[in-house]
Structure 1
């Protein structure tokens, strides 16, 4: 049943925007996908097939970048490049996660999978770095490099200490998305820190207590209470789970 006129009048434009951040970011998300598709067409059929097969259709890390950059000012090209860089970094780590772990039987198929996962993952890392550099922002590039170092360190420690335990990159990637996005538009440090903590908690919500996410979002809301453009992102963080 369609709502009557009085009901529609009670729904403010702000409430409509807050309820659907992904629709607000729709045009930018299309550009992010186009940039990702351009990057994964290497010219080598086997590589392209593997990348297309493993490229996700939903981009929550890009959404955090784009939602964060709405709180300041930058060009479309720079925010889209950064959003694509974080998603490409995720693709790189996902491809590397396909590498067989533990005791394996070394045969022709295993060697092919090992070689392909390592080389194609490294290709994605290089593409992600190139995209981050397109922001022409040293602070953003430094944050991206720091995230890359954290990812590498986390994976090495997991392989050395507990190779059978699944390793999740979500917290690092979501935190990097918020941090780099905030740096790109020059948000003040307290706001940047709150965004990073909320995004990191969002990334851990599948395996950790949701209390940390609730606390992080409460702190974020307190800092952003005078910024209406932040509400869609805050509500999205509260209501979505990472993919």
Structure 2
């Protein structure tokens, strides 16, 4: 599948790269390297790849993976802001032990969905994104489940993440108890696929048709029109 040359603005490439040049080392120092296994952080790096290469697959993968979860993040943040506890995804944004600068960097969750939609609209949607992101996300979950601290782990630095990608439940302080942990993990992986990834894939496939496909259809229609004219 060839790449559509969309000529993304240089200003976007430079500004997004500048943001990551600040965010990545700050997050690395404060949260540790395992923080970059979160879906949203992986999506940032995929967007960087798409922005510079202008290939649609990385941006399409990010779209499938985090568009819906980022909407939930924004809703949870607004709920916490007005005193309503939704699921607790953004409780860290109100932690006084974290600097305003550190928390401010996390506002990328609010604008990242719009950037992803812009990229997919501009570059086109790659249907390979669904299997590619699903395999990547499941792999990240398995790493978090088998090798990283589970929910409820008390670490010397409380900023170091536990329960990455919520493989032990939505409460970082306590693992879920209503299902055996392995069964919950399997259910979580399937839920991500059925509830998050598939609906997003179907919506993007329907409304964000790749430019290459649209161009090919136009060329085919023009060719058939010329062929019919010649026969007449």
TM-score, scaled to structure 2 = 0.28
- Based on CA coordinates, which of the two structures has the bigger radius of gyration? 2
TM-score, scaled to structure 1 = 0.27
